[in-house]
Amino acid sequence: MRENPQVWFEVDDIKTMTNWQSVIAWGRFKEISGLEEKTTGLTKAGG
């Protein structure tokens, strides 16, 4: 990801073949370091 920061992430919730949901997110990877930056990132992510 350091060499190619364009990323995407997909989550599927499949209950049956006709009852499913998907979420796709895409963006740029940014490596974080340091406690303050990690705390800020987790807060923004809702964690």
Write out the chain's pLDDT in tens, 47 residues: 999 999 999 999 999 999 999 999 999 998 888 999 999 988 988 86
Predicted local confidence at residue 35, as pLDDT: 94
As given in the structure block, the two tokens for residue 47 are 């964690």
Provide CB contacts within 8 A for 7, sequence distance 6+: 1, 26, 27, 28, 29
Distance between CA atoms of residues 27 and 23, nearest Å = 14
Predicted local confidence at residue 47, as pLDDT: 62
